[in-house]
Amino acid sequence: MSATIINDDTMRDTDTSDIAVSDGSISNVTAQATTKESATESAGTGIGIANDSAVANDRSTEADIDLDALVGTTTNTAILPEPDAHAYDAIETGDGDPLILGGHRFTSRFILGSGRYDLNLIKATIENAGTQIVTMALRRCRTTENNLLDYIPKGITMLPNTSGARNAEEAVRIARLAREVCHTDFVKIEIEHEQRYLLPDNAETIKATAILANEGFVAMPYMFPDPIVARQLEDAGAACVMPLGSLIGSNKGIRMRDFIEVIIANAGVPVIIDAGIGRPSQACEAMEMGADAVMAYTAIASAGNIPLMARAFKHAIEAGRASYRSGLGTVTEGHAVPSSPTNASDYLG
């Protein structure tokens, strides 16, 4: 803004003020054209000074400029709509966002395997993972020395698996024995009749699930990600479905993504991604897809620092869940979408 100095021979503008932005308004910080300077110049050259009140009115008008118009906030709002200020009120975590399995509530969505850990590391690993469910093979549940159960913190739900079963009959027999030894109704159904790829036998898994669910087990079947089979397992009484992300122990991540997404979109029970998750980032990806939980073991057991890797998985799973619940941004194809004004006029009002 400038004050106009009128001269008999010429007309010129002199900058008179600095503008500062504060609290959403424009304030006049300094006025440099002082009465003293004007009076001196006028006396020597016959210059007349414009009415002070007119200058003040000019400043008052500009001070009323809306800061939103100055910086283009209106344009930004059109590009990135302002979220509901209270939208977060409905978002809950922990106790308010439980994982329900067979009527049991869990606040952690991380299921931890326990196959090859040094027994002395198990407690620290579980604590760093923040998990409430730990899987185990029945053979590790001995009644003599080195019993895995002696190293598991109190309050942890044990999830015995039927690893080694080659058909439904063997899986049912192992599950019944595990119920007696581990004092739990939870069972992860694993049936693999070939040893090279360890792919689950979906047909036998459906049979075992129906029998065990009918006997009151919380049946959690490990499956090859076939959406039709997922529905059949649900109809058979499964408490959840556990599709593999990639070959067990491979650490390759979610190679079966398209099929898993279909399962998630149509499932009426929790979907837990099992097998192949090799990094915390892959666990986060699974949760962002809408999976209800992730099971991991090899990635942690093969890490240089096992408890620290368990903690990394914990945070990744929590971040993925929060990301999914908050609503991911839309992916665009073939064009860009500016997040800031692109025209000078948007900034200048």
Looking at residue 149, what is its pLDDT?
Answer: 77
pTM of the complete model: 0.70
Domains and CATH numbers, the chain: 104-326 (3.20.20.70)
Tens of pLDDT along the chain (349 residues)?
Answer: 444 444 444 444 444 444 444 444 444 444 444 444 444 444 444 444 445 555 555 555 554 545 444 444 444 444 444 555 555 555 555 568 899 999 999 999 999 988 766 777 888 999 999 999 999 887 655 555 567 777 888 899 999 999 989 999 999 999 999 999 888 999 999 999 888 888 999 999 999 999 999 999 999 999 999 999 999 999 999 999 999 998 888 888 899 999 999 999 999 999 999 998 999 999 999 999 999 999 999 999 999 999 999 999 999 999 999 999 998 877 777 777 776 666 666 656 5
Q: Which residue has the tokens 């998985």?
A: 313
Distance (Å, whole) CA 194 – CA 161: 17
Which among 154, 188, 207, 252 is annotated as catalytic? 188
Give the residue from 61, 60, 55, 58 showing the smallest Cα distance to 5: 55
Catalytic annotation on 188? yes
